Amino acid sequence: MVPQDLLTEVRDENPLVHCITNYVAMNIAANVVLAAGASPAMVHAPEEIADFTPICGALTINIGTLSAPWQASMVAAATTAHARSIPWVLDPVAHFISGYRKRTAQDLLSLRPTIVRGNASEILALTGEAGAGKGADTGDSVDAAQGAAKALAAQFGTVIAITGPVDYVTDGVHEARVVGGSPMMPKVTALGCAQTALMGAYAATGPAFDAALATLAHFKVAGSAAAKLAKGPGSFKMHFLDALAATQAADLEQVIA
Ligand SMILES: Nc1ncnc2c1ncn2[C@@H]1O[C@H](COP(=O)(O)OP(=O)(O)O)[C@@H](O)[C@H]1O
Ligand SMILES: Cc1ncsc1CCOP(=O)(O)O
Ligand SMILES: [Mg+2]
């Protein structure tokens, strides 16, 4: 499906997205998903997974503020999604900073996410390569992580999306790049996490590669529009939410290279 059709479907279908995300991201992720036209729900308790995950259009898992009860919820939810063919998206935030986080990311990867979205350092390090990541922020270029993305996509049968100044997406065979956005985007915390949550909404409505590509394009279009009005990261955030809601379906194809 072409990205513009997927944006229309997200708005028409208003899919319910189960988000297990981090404390930093919860508010902006929910606002981003709502502004784009879908319905987010932040649900973390292990006791709720069996009831909630099966009724959602998609699941998104983000390990940004990991702890043991959340890890149990993540594994249970990903196992449920995989067993029921519910699309699910993994955001391996800063997984290279500790053995605990690294093992959790690898365990989740083995549960076959439909899409993995991360910055270049996060994707590079998923293959075991030492990158230059600095906590949640990238220290590597998108170009440097493209080989890792292709290898991971082929090994795990998933779509890998790397974000940065120019985004890159591959399923191991096909690839695309997405241009635009603004250097202010990485200066607003958890915007990448919010993008992962939105990718769940797109994955609920269409095939994995197309869904990842449409999400990347929607963010780039909205980021470029917000940058024209913003005075800095604070007002950028406000204008970005407005721009996500105002993005026209036909705009998406213009940022795909
Ligand atoms: N220098 C940049 N110029 C334009 N867009 C950017 C830039 N850096 C990041 N982005 C955009 O910001 C969003 C979040 O990406 P990124 O900052 O890589 O994720 P994370 O927050 O997980 O590190 C993506 O839409 C990406 O395209
Ligand atoms: C700062 C921070 N610390 C733990 S999670 C988090 C948010 C990271 O957000 P993003 O990956 O979108 O930059
Ligand atoms: Mg991130």
Convert the pLDDT of each residue in 16-56 to its tens digit.
999 999 999 999 999 999 999 999 999 999 999 999 999 99
50 Cα–ligand 3 center, Å: 27
Return the pLDDT at 217: 98
160: pLDDT strictly greater than 90: yes
Average pLDDT over residues 97-111: 97
List the beta strands (DSSP E) in the chain: 16-20, 39-42, 58-62, 88-91, 115-119, 159-163, 167-170, 175-178
Look up the ipTM and state it. 0.99
* Mutational pocket test of ligand 2: of 95, 138, 191, 193, the residue with most ligand atoms within 8 Å of the beta carbon: 193
In the chain the domains, ranked by start, together with CATH numbers, are 3-255 (3.40.1190.20)
pLDDT at res. 246: 98
Q: Is the pLDDT of residue 138 over 90?
A: yes
Percent of the chain with pLDDT over 70: 100
159 falls in which pLDDT band (50, 70, 90)? Answer: very high
pLDDT score recorded for residue 1? 81
- Would you mind telling me the total number of residues written for the chain in this entry? 257
Average pLDDT of the chain is 97
Q: Which residue in the block uniquely carries the two structure tokens 């980021």?
A: 223
Q: Which atom of ligand 2 is nearest to the CA of 196?
A: 12
**pLDDT tens column, 191-202:** 999 999 999 999
Ligand 2 atom having least distance to the Cα of 195: 12
Strand order in the sheet with 115-119: 39-42, 16-20, 58-62, 88-91, 115-119, 159-163, 167-170, 175-178
